[in-house]
């Protein structure tokens, strides 16, 4: 463990996710949370109203208004992603800055680490790439366009294509935010640590746990919403089919993704703790020899002073040993695990609720 004091970075430059450029078009106070949420709702409402105008021109107002899937995508998934972009935009630099005391990095290397995190977290290209993947490979847009070329393009069908690209861009942004948070956790967990082993060592990793919590929230809410939208009205299935479905696999993947980066930190803490204990045991042996040598000397004032000094070192070493042995080898505690399990239950509750709805109301 290196006790050398490294220069501290006190400020990190802030850039913006692409969604924030749209939000900034509204005349709002950037530091006001209510204004920020209102601007996001207004953006989504503007999109919905443009669609309503397009459909009304083609005389399909009722079809558009009662399209609950569109509403759930826009004001459910869309708002969650926009809320997440606000939280990341507002908190990510400060959260990363909170890691510096526990990382054995010089100021320039820490700045380089933040630049790497910033470059991929705020990048628009991955969001756009995911948008095209979702549109062309999962939404079936090529077949839809091919059908329109045969039947003819209408205003509302043109809007459907534009809306699909927009909502999948929002979805791709949400996916990339989750991925970038996970990459950040993994990247930070692989840096050299500068920590002092103690009983409250978990407190030093609160920032890392917060990032993991964000990732968990995005991931399991995305599973819940996606499953809810796609399975509503689906055929009734048995309990065994639910358990053996990809739904359970997604939950396991989420749990492993959240906990795996902490295992890297655990291995580092375990090595530090083992090294500290081995050093303490060697120190005990050395002090024991010094004490035996002092006691073997002729009784005088010098022997008494030397004995007291050695005993003082032994007591100090015992206190240090108690702190080291009491230090956790994991950077997370039971409160984090309990909150994570509560998020795991969210998609399970949604899945059961949808199955009950399909079974008793739509059957």
270-314 pLDDT, tens per residue? 888 888 888 888 888 887 887 777 767 666 667 677 778 878 888
CA-derived radius of gyration, the chain: 29
Sign of the alpha-carbon dihedral angle for 192, 195, 200, 204: negative
In whole angstroms, give the CA distance from residue 52 to residue 42. Answer: 15
pTM, 2 dp: 0.72
Among candidate residues 346, 106, 85, 89, the one with its CA nearest the CA of residue 226: 346
Q: Please report, in tens digits, the pLDDT of each residue of the chain (363 residues total).
A: 444 444 444 444 456 788 888 888 888 888 888 899 999 999 999 999 999 999 998 888 888 888 877 888 888 888 888 888 888 878 777 778 877 777 887 888 888 888 888 888 888 999 999 888 888 876 667 666 766 666 667 888 888 888 888 988 998 888 888 888 888 878 887 788 777 777 777 777 877 787 788 778 777 877 777 666 666 666 666 666 666 666 777 788 788 878 887 887 888 888 888 888 888 888 888 878 877 777 676 666 676 777 788 788 888 888 888 888 887 888 888 888 888 888 888 877 877 777 777 777 655
129-175 tens-digit pLDDT = 988 888 887 666 766 676 666 666 788 888 888 888 898 899 888 88
In whole angstroms, give the CA distance from residue 269 to residue 329. Answer: 5
* Cβ neighbours for 190, distance < 8 A, ≥ 6 positions apart: 264
């Amino acid at each position: 463990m290196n006790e050398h004091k490294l220069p501290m970075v006190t400020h990190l430059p802030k850039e913006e996710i692409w969604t924030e450029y749209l939000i900034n078009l509204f005349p709002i106070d950037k530091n006001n949370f209510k204004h920020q949420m209102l601007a996001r709702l207004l953006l989504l409402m503007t999109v919905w109203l443009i669609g309503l105008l397009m459909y009304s021109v083609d005389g399909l107002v009722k079809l558009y208004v009662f399209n609950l899937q569109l509403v759930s995508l826009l004001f459910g998934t869309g708002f969650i992603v926009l809320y997440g972009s606000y939280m990341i935009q507002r908190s990510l630099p400060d959260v990363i800055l909170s890691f510096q005391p526990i990382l054995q990095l010089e100021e320039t290397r820490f700045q380089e680490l933040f630049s790497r995190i910033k470059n991929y977290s705020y990048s628009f290209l991955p969001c756009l790439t995911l948008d095209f993947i979702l549109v062309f490979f999962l939404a079936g847009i090529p077949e839809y366009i091919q059908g329109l070329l045969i039947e003819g393009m209408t205003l509302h069908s043109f809007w459907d294509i534009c809306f699909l690209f927009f909502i999948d861009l929002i979805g791709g942004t949400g996916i990339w935010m989750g991925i970038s948070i996970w990459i950040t956790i993994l990247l930070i967990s692989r840096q050299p640590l500068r920590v002092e082993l103690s009983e409250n060592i978990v407190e030093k990793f609160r920032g890392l746990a917060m990032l993991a919590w964000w990732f968990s929230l995005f991931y399991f809410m995305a599973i819940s919403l996606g499953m809810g939208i796609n399975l509503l009205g689906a055929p009734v299935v048995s309990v065994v089919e639910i358990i053996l479905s990809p739904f359970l696999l997604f939950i396991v993947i989420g749990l492993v993704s959240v906990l795996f980066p902490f295992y890297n930190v655990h291995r580092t803490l375990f090595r530090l703790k083992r090294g500290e204990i081995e050093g303490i045991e060697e120190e005990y042996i050395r002090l024991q020899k010094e004490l035996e040598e002092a006691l073997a000397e002729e009784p005088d004032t010098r022997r008494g002073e030397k004995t007291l000094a050695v005993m003082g070192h032994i007591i100090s070493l015992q206190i240090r040993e108690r702190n080291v042995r009491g230090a956790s080898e994991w950077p997370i505690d039971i409160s984090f695990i309990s909150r994570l399990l509560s998020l795991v239950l969210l998609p399970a509750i949604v899945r059961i609720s949808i199955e009950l709805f399909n079974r008793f109301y739509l059957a």
